[in-house]
Amino acid sequence: MTDRTDRQPAAGKSRHDAEWDMAKGLVYLVTGGCGYIGEHIVKLLAAENYVKEVRVFDISATFDVTKLSTASTTVTLVKGDITDVDQVYKAMEGVQVVIHTAALVDYMDLFPYSKMESINVGGTSNIIKACMAKDVTYLVYTSSIAAVGPNTCNEPMLRGTEETVYTGELRLLYGRTKAAAENLVRQANGTLMAHGKKLVTCVIRPSNLYGEKTASFLESYKSAKSKNGRLNYVEPDDIDQGYAYVGNVAWMHVLAARQLQRKPELMGGQVYYTYDDTPMRQRFKLLHSLYSSFDPSIQLGSRIPYWKMWLIISIFNIVAFLVKPFWKLKPFMTLDILNYLVITFSYNTDKASRHFGYQPKYSWAEAKVRTCKWLKEATIQG
């Protein structure tokens, strides 16, 4: 779909503005609300006085999400599986807005593709069906840049936009499921529901994220410490890959869900990349900036040649195949991830700002402090 030019509001209030003004105490359903992005979204929604309840729908809870409740907003937990349509229907009762973040994220080929497809595609289909059946008008879907690329030909994308045409077979299986689910959500936009209303949807497409509970960043820090503080890397020095703080990505979801109710004609069916003012365009430089700010012993090491890492992974794969009948080895990296790390794949956009007024909630300095605080605490806890 193509971008649409912002329209100037007509004199007086539109029907959607009037509905917004009359809305008192909205109920939001956040699928995957105990997850990485979902938890941040729930925290931010709980601070908004127009939200009466944030209903978290998740298959598991690693913490008591109800403790995120505030004076104005109650956070509740409904345990359930998005692949069970009956459970999804029950969770939708009395809901006005859905933010669908739940997914099986697998970059390491730990799960069968069929399972990932069932959750990411089938689960999204169930969410759409439930929205239609329960007259839930607004749906925001969390996709991924992996839904765009890189492709199997390793073609780069430099500072693209939401309108950039990038074709070819997707390299990551996870990305294929997210692309399929994204298409379902966009195609559902404008569908007539039971009582005459139309479903309004949009897609948020996160890129590379960092922040609290970024497990891979904690693992990389521990790895550097085990190598006398040397942070080695595989990315070329001139690679371009954008990064955004998870708190700002969550904030974009909150704003999109709010403004989708006021600007359905503009935002319906649209896709928005995530972005903020994080200055680093390379993963190893971002990691070094974070780690060295609270641990001066961390020094930028040397680049591991692509061929050497490719050889190590290939040997590991052969060994893993040979011992598979007796022992399942967990990969430290796959060839697909290696190729992803060394390809320029980035975008440059302000579409979210133009369409619904997005501005980063957290500056780079704030994001850095918050991330480092978590890293230090997580390291102490082991």
Helix and strand counts by DSSP (H, E) for the chain:
14, 13
Cβ contact 188:201 at 8 Å: yes
Which residue is catalytic, options 36, 138, 141, 174?
174
The residues facing 151 across adjacent strands are 170
Tokens of 241: 């890959």
Cβ contact 105:174 at 8 Å: yes
Question: What is the rounded distance in angstroms from the CA atom of residue 105 to the CA atom of residue 171?
Answer: 15
The Cβ-side half-sphere exposure at 104, using a 13 Å CA radius, reads 25
The Cβ-side half-sphere exposure at 305, using a 13 Å CA radius, reads 3
Tokens of 196: 């005459």
Q: Sort strands 74-79 and 138-142 into parallel, antiparallel or unpaired.
A: unpaired
Whether 174 is catalytic is yes
Could you write out the DSSP letters of every residue in 230-249?
EEEE-S-TT----EEEHHHH
CA separation, residue 111 to residues 114, 117, 332, 354 (Å): 8, 10, 15, 39
Question: What is the rounded distance in angstroms from the CA atom of residue 42 to the CA atom of residue 56?
Answer: 8
Active-site positions? 174
